[in-house]
Structure 1
Amino acid sequence: MAFGPVNMGVMAGTIQTVETLRGPAGRLEALLNVGAADAAYSAVVCHPHPPSGGTMHTKVVYHAAKAFSHFGVPVLRFNFRGTGLSEGTHDNGPGEIADVKAALDWLQHEYGLPILLAGFSFGANIGFRAACGDDRVKGLVGLGMPLQAGGRSYSYEFMAHCNQPKLLLTGAQDPFAPRLVMESYFDEAGGDTEMQWIEGAEHFFAGVPGSPQAKLDRMRLAMQDWLGRKFFGL
């Protein structure tokens, strides 16, 4: 797998197009939020279900990238195969797991730093499947981790052996992740697993009747708080 150099002289906070990320199905369209020269970690964010309109530009993905950037972390966002300008076709899971692994390989090659991963919805399930047990990945954030959505069921049997620190952030009114079921599913997850519920939010962390204001900022700040406590000594 070929890689090209990142221009490390670019100012932190700049967004660059990545031309060298390739998965098994071909080139993956990607953006890099450039981090600080002394960054302690690199990060990747995985987007929601592509046939349902999910891309690396989805608002939740953007806010997750901002949470990492708050700590000067370089953040890679990419489109799964068949999405946007990414080559290949949607594979309903296995191919997308391989895409995440390609993104992890790219970050390892370019930075050689410990990696943090966040995913939203489909991207959370796929990202966790790719990264659980990977020694390069030191922490995982699942945003709107789904149990059922659009007629699709998501399983989490692998989580029992997922020992990295994990944060699961879910809208309290998320119809795809009922609270009691979520808690029963993830009570036995391996390692340090923290679950938080964003009141007045649904799956996309938008508002709900009675609390109409979007909760994206609240989601991002909760993610920043967890990252600060777990990885940045705050």
Structure 2
Amino acid sequence: MPDVIINGPAGRLEGKYSPGKEAGAPVALILHAHPRGGGHMETPVNLMMYDLFKQRGFAVLRFNFRGVGRSQGVYDQGYGELSDAATALDWAQAHNPNAAYCWVAGHSFGAFVGMQLLMRRPEIAGFISVAPPTNMYDFTFLAPCPASGLIAHGEADAIVPPDEMERVMSKVRVQKGIEIEREIIPGASHLFTNHVEELEKSITRYLDRRLAQLDAPPIESKDKKKR
């Protein structure tokens, strides 16, 4: 798990990178919670998501947003952090030019940034959004959402009540064939303290099902088989 330094828009970005197991491995980018709320790339939720993608053969990158840890710069209200995420994804793709596809996974503020990123990057085939802060930021940019994904939210989230998340996400339009699934984790708080294992099980179920669909060979039509 090598340490990496990425040249970001506001200076260096500190990250951790795990190469894919095979040539052409897909890429996953992991985004942490709010820098001013104690978010950083080593939180339990971030580490868990990083490991889940690593176990599935992805080339995985997690990093600290500007002003966190050894990353340079200062907090920029989400605007600069989106640029950080785009730069980090560029770096991961440059190291994996034959990647089949990309995923983005984020917790809280990181979920907000990640969902903005997927609107700008058509190569992102799926997302995991943990406790998206729908009562703090405007999510109407998802118009329509271009990729399927999972939203996992804590039942006991006092910072972003699950009813608020449901209210916002139930109104999000999606492109044809796209589905945003939502799962409420019983008893879990916004940080998933003492409930990371339950969150991991939820994400595992979703990833295994979605990746099986993405990696399945295309089905030939009957007409094509006859030729």
Q: Which TM-score band applies after superposition, normalised by the shorter structure?
A: 0.7 to 0.9
Q: Deviations over 1:66-103 (max 9, x none)?
A: 11122111210000011111111111110000000001
Say yes or no: does 1:146 pair with 2:133.
yes
Q: Which runs of 5+ in 1 are unaligned?
A: 1-14, 207-213
Structure (1 or 2) with the larger CA radius of gyration:
2
Which position in structure 1 is the counterpart of 2:156? 173
Q: Which runs of 5+ in 2 are unaligned?
A: 217-227
Of 142, 166, 173, which aligns to 1:159? 142
Task: Supply the RMSD in Å over aligned alpha carbons.
Answer: 1.5
CA distance in 2, matches of 1:166, 1:38: 25
CA deviation after TM superposition for structure 1 residue 33, in Å: 2.5
Within a 5 Å distance, the mapping from 1:1-234 to structure 2 comes to 15-19=1-5, 21-38=6-23, 40-112=25-97, 113=99, 114-148=101-135, 153-189=136-172, 190=174, 191-206=178-193, 214-233=194-213
Q: Deviations over 1:132-181 (max 9, x none)?
A: 24112111110111134xxxx21100123222011100111111222222
**Paired residues of 1:29 and 1:84 also in contact (CA < 8 A):** yes
> What is the TM-score normalised by the length of structure 1?
0.84
CA distance in 2, matches of 1:176, 1:162: 24
Identity of aligned residues (%): 33
**Paired residues of 1:46 and 1:123 also in contact (CA < 8 A):** yes
**Paired residues of 1:44 and 1:116 also in contact (CA < 8 A):** yes
**Paired residues of 1:147 and 1:177 also in contact (CA < 8 A):** yes
**Paired residues of 2:25 and 2:59 also in contact (CA < 8 A):** no
Corresponding residue SS for 1:80:
coil
Corresponding residue SS for 2:65:
coil
Corresponding residue SS for 1:232:
helix
Corresponding residue SS for 2:17:
strand
- Residue 56 of structure 1 aligns with an amino acid whose one-letter code is M
CA distance in 2, matches of 1:174, 1:118: 19
